[in-house]
A = this chain, B = another copy of it.
Amino acid sequence: MYGWTGKILRVDLTTGQCHREQIPVDLLHAYLGGRGLGVRLMRDRFRLDPMDPEMPLIFAVGPLCGTSSPTAARMACVSRSPLTGTIYDCSAGGRFAWRMKGCGLDAIFITGKSKEPVYLSVYGDLASLCPAGELWGKGIKETVLLLQGKGSVAAVGPAGENGVLFANIMMGEGNSIGRGGLGAVMGGKGLKAITVNGTAPVAISAPERFNEARNDVMRLFRASPVIFGELGIAEYGTPALVDLMAQRRMAPTNNFQSTYFADSGNYSGPAIRKEFHAKKDGCYGCPIQCKKSTPDHEPLPEYETVNHFGALNGISDLHSIVRANSLCNELGMDTISAAATLSAFGEERGRFPAVEEVPGLLYDIAFRRAEGLLLSLGSRKFAEQRHRPELSMTVKSLELPAYDPRGAYGMALAYATSNRGGCHLRAYPISHEILRKPVPTDRFSFSGKARIIKIAEDVNAAVDSLVACKFAFFGATLEEYGELLSAVTGVEYGPEVLKTIGERIYLTERFYNCENGFSLADDQLPGRFFTEPGTSGDGIDVPPIDRERFEEELQKYYRIRGLNEDGTFADPSFLERQP
């Protein structure tokens, strides 16, 4: 078999047992790897509390990992989110995936709960659980430094140990498994870290075909202004978007009270580069190197982070924003949710946090004390407790990122339908609505968006299962990645087959959520977007979203997906018919 190792490492933290098993080949063919494989392996664990010891925490790589497929040094982490209650996956880069595949593994499947803190060490064929009492309580940098001799590291910080609902799992190279709080799941299991160290090579079925496909991808990357253009992400990273979103009047500001922040230029891509001598950084072997870091490898913040610690909290000072980003990384928690929760807290008390307060509040959240005890549950629980539920700018309890939906109606629909909550990574209509790729659409219209979002969700589910990076698709398409996959595995995968696989994965996730009680009532946006306008100006008018048109388009989406009017499954046996 090419592309897959066919092996899963099962780890039971309660008994301390680790053993390898074979994965049925038809599952690999039908779900590829990464997100798809992880979601498939979750199928028999409905209605389990995310913090239940038997809740699995799954790390899965894909068939492209270990090859020189561009942007493929990635993996997915899958479980159920303690923040959203949905099934949850997150894609992460770095070197971990590559080294995990080098241990001969497609997946690591962790259940149980350890009495004492442990870390999992996988060194080639050997897997063992080691005492981590001395690591417990330590920040991420220190933990990674102490473990780095053992290979690539994934670890939780104090936030994960203490059960912050938006705690991350941080990768040793600075990447993160972010958003839905899988760090709390890992910390709750008493698992401080995982190290992987393997170098087994990955063979390719058709090397010449692979090289041709790879050349096609690289040519498309080079031709893409979004990737390698003068103002593209290779040059400035995602903060390249700061000026663009300001011009479009869709930069969420003061907890989404407005959509324009006059000082956003302080943290634009060029401003960050100048101020921090930013250099390119990125995942293993990736040609784009979109990450930016300082000369001593301190990661610099992404677009969502600068906007949310900046505009969303009314903070102008770049250094304070960068420090907040570093502190979240060090404590191991999600920057978007942390900043958005602080912003809701700010609106509730009538004063957004001053720069001097932010570090203390972040510590309080990570250690779950004082104000932080409530804030660590995320903005939705915070706002409900304060009897101001309207202040939580979330979908399915997940804090929205930095694209105001009043400035991009596709994004409004994408937030609502996302089956892991309000994120920009299930479908990214910004691509066509703002970046005009592959074709421009009218950002102030819902027309045609239901179908576009459905397709994008399916495509991304496939991409997350290869696993490749979504940024690759600002240049390449499933056509070229299908070629890469076919060449690697010797199994034919055209773009339509990949979309079908993506749809299978997406519906499996939705089915899981529906079984846990999710429905139309959860596919909603915060009320503010329908009642308050954004910030108009510079010839751009940003009115509130028309709720009727939104709901109409949502119904159209359900029809395209084959769902009932209330968003549930018409066919309760859907899952049984899948491989």
- Give every chain B residue within 8 A of A359 (Cβ-Cβ): 141, 296
Closest B residue to A276 by beta carbon equals B319
Name A277's contact: one of B137, B142, B319 (CB within 8 Å).
B319
Bits for A264-280, please: 1 = Cβ < 8 Å to B, else 0.
Answer: 00000000000111000
A298 beta carbon closer than 8 Å to chain B: yes
Bits for A428-442, please: 1 = Cβ < 8 Å to B, else 0.
Answer: 000000000000000
Interface residue count for A (Cβ, 8 Å)?
26
**Is the beta-carbon distance between A297 and B356 smaller than 8 angstroms?**
yes
Instruction: Give the contacts of A530-549 with B (CB-CB under 8 A).
Output: none
- The CA of A259 and the CA of B563, in the complex, are separated in Å by 75
- Give every chain B residue within 8 A of A298 (Cβ-Cβ): 319, 323
A294 beta carbon closer than 8 Å to chain B: yes
- Give every chain B residue within 8 A of A297 (Cβ-Cβ): 356
- The CA of A503 and the CA of B338, in the complex, are separated in Å by 57
A320 beta carbon closer than 8 Å to chain B: yes
Name A275's contact: one of B142, B275, B356 (CB within 8 Å).
B275
- The CA of A320 and the CA of B293, in the complex, are separated in Å by 11
A579 beta carbon closer than 8 Å to chain B: no
Bits for A307-346, please: 1 = Cβ < 8 Å to B, else 0.
Answer: 0000000000101100100000000000000000000000
- The CA of A364 and the CA of B149, in the complex, are separated in Å by 14
- The CA of A478 and the CA of B28, in the complex, are separated in Å by 83
In the assembled complex, the CB of A158 is this many whole angstroms from the nearest CB of chain B, namely 9
In the assembled complex, the CB of A282 is this many whole angstroms from the nearest CB of chain B, namely 16
- The CA of A392 and the CA of B32, in the complex, are separated in Å by 59
- Give every chain B residue within 8 A of A355 (Cβ-Cβ): 295-296
- The CA of A358 and the CA of B296, in the complex, are separated in Å by 8
- Give every chain B residue within 8 A of A139 (Cβ-Cβ): 139
A262 beta carbon closer than 8 Å to chain B: no
- Give every chain B residue within 8 A of A364 (Cβ-Cβ): 145
Name A296's contact: one of B138, B145, B323, B363 (CB within 8 Å).
B323
Bits for A336-378, please: 1 = Cβ < 8 Å to B, else 0.
Answer: 0000000000000000000110111001100100000000000
Closest B residue to A138 by beta carbon equals B137
> Known interface pairs A295-B355, A356-B296. Does A277 touch B317 (Cβ–Cβ under 8 Å)?
yes
- Give every chain B residue within 8 A of A141 (Cβ-Cβ): 359, 363
Closest B residue to A294 by beta carbon equals B319
- Name 24 A/B residue pairs within 8 A (Cβ), A-sorted: A137-B137, A137-B138, A139-B139, A141-B359, A142-B363, A142-B367, A145-B363, A145-B364, A276-B319, A277-B319, A294-B319, A294-B320, A294-B323, A295-B317, A295-B319, A295-B320, A295-B355, A296-B319, A296-B320, A296-B323, A296-B355, A296-B356, A296-B359, A298-B319
Shortest 6 CB-CB distances between A and B: which pairs? A296-B355, A296-B320, A295-B317, A294-B319, A295-B355, A145-B363
Residues of A at under 8 Å CB distance from B? 137-139, 141-142, 145, 275-277, 294-298, 317, 319-320, 323, 355-356, 358-360, 363-364, 367
| Known pairs A294-B320, A298-B319 / 15 extra A-B pairs, C-beta < 8 Å | A137-B137, A141-B359, A142-B363, A145-B364, A275-B275, A276-B319, A277-B317, A277-B319, A294-B319, A295-B317, A295-B319, A296-B319, A296-B355, A296-B356, A297-B356
